[in-house]
Amino acid sequence: MEAVVCIKPVPEADSRLRVAPSGATYDPEGLRYTLNSTYDEAAVEEALRLREAGAIEKVHVVSLGPARAEEGVRYALAMGADDGLLLETGPGDAFDPGATANLLAGAIQTGPHDLVLVGRRAGDDETGMVGSALGEHLGIPSFAFVTGISVEGPSGSLRLRRFTEAGEEVLSVSLPVVVSLLKGAQDPRTPTLPNILKARRKPLVHQPLSEVLARLPAPPVRSLPVRFDLPAPRTGARLVEYQNPSEAAEKLVRLLREEAKVL
């Protein structure tokens, strides 16, 4: 059994975004990309734990993004994944979650994919849709809000723990399957320096997007962004001088009533 982990390298959290000349997205020029830490690291960690338990043989990482997104893939390799595949997009390429899932499926279905893992949602757009759409394009079941995976008996079926509105649910599922992971009991490992150096020698293939598109029966349907706006700049803070908490509360209420006019 082999696992495929789909990751989405995203701009580092402290990046200063600029609106692209098109006005429809942010400008990727000069940004550093990293692994989508909240959920994708949990997906990689879950796959590595299953490999260490002897449940799977290899962990493959697949990603869709610009050439500089290699940094995020290398991080997953430094965590312990065996190899990586980057579907390299160009400067003008823009894909919504459905089209992203279509392209990822086109690359994944050419190799073993008994277990496909994705993070629940990405740190930039946070749509949470790719996992379900990926299962649809691969023609296999998909499960979301999963917090943990274990192997169930010699048959190779999996036991999934997932959150629902009614509480925690435990499922027994057969392979192949797509699983969207929340961050549960995993404590994703931090790559050590030796593993970071080893990751530089692990196989990482850059595949032109045209090769994937040529294998699809039809071009992916896309909903393109219309406008991208940065948040309005924050106004300066107003400091309230006071001698005791009672005076502070009195001044704050007066300012909210007379100046902010929210009371």
Domain-located, residue 8: yes
Q: For residue 111, how far is the Cα from the chain centroid?
A: 21
Question: How confident is the model at residue 253, as a pLDDT?
Answer: 92
**95 found inside a domain:** yes
pLDDT at 153: 67
Do 197 and 95 share a structural domain? yes
The verdict on 125 and 248 lying in the same domain is: no
Q: Are residues 137 and 189 in the same domain?
A: yes
With respect to residue 227, please indicate whether it lies within any of the assigned structural domains: no
9 and 51 both lie in a single domain: yes
Please check whether residue 199 lies inside any domain of the structure.
yes
Is 223 inside a domain boundary? no
241 and 162 within one domain: no
Query: Considering the chain, what percentage of its residues have pLDDT values greater than 90?
Result: 29
Assess whether 40 and 146 both reside in one domain: yes
Q: Are 203 and 240 found together in one domain?
A: no
Q: Tell me the average pLDDT across 129-135.
A: 87
Is 263 inside any structural domain? yes
With a CB cutoff of 8 Å and minimum separation 6, the contacts of 84 are: 60, 61, 62, 63, 73, 74, 76, 77, 202, 203, 204, 205
pLDDT value at 36 more than 80:
no
Taking the C-alpha atoms of residue 249 and residue 66, their distance in angstroms, rounded to an integer, is 52
Would residue 229 count as lying in a domain? no
Residue 34: its pLDDT value, please?
A: 73
What region does 112 belong to: left with phi over 0, alpha with psi -120 to 50, or beta?
beta
Residues 187 and 111 in one domain: yes
Same domain membership, residue 150 and residue 208:
yes
The reply to whether 249 and 190 lie within a common domain is no
How high is the pLDDT of residue 154?
A: 63
Decide if 102 is inside a domain: yes
Task: Give the best-scoring range by mean pLDDT among 3-7, 14-18, 28-32.
Answer: 3-7
141: amino acid identity, one letter: P
Range of the domain at 258: 236-263
Q: Which residue has the higher pLDDT, 55 or 183?
A: 55
The string of pLDDT tens digits covering residues 135-181 is 999 999 999 889 888 887 666 688 898 888 888 889 888 889 999 98
How do residues 223-253 score in pLDDT, each as one tens digit? 777 787 777 877 777 788 888 999 999 999 9
Same domain, 261 and 203: no
pLDDT digits (tens, 9 = 90+) for 50-71: 999 888 899 999 998 888 888 8
Are the C-beta atoms of residues 105 and 138 closer than 8 Å to each other?
yes
Do residue 179 and residue 255 come from a single domain? no
More confident residue, 13 or 160: 160
| Number of structural domains found in the chain | 2
pTM of the shown model: 0.79
pLDDT over 90 (residue 78): yes
The lowest-confidence range among 90-99, 143-152, 200-209 is: 90-99
CATH number at residue 104: 3.40.50.620
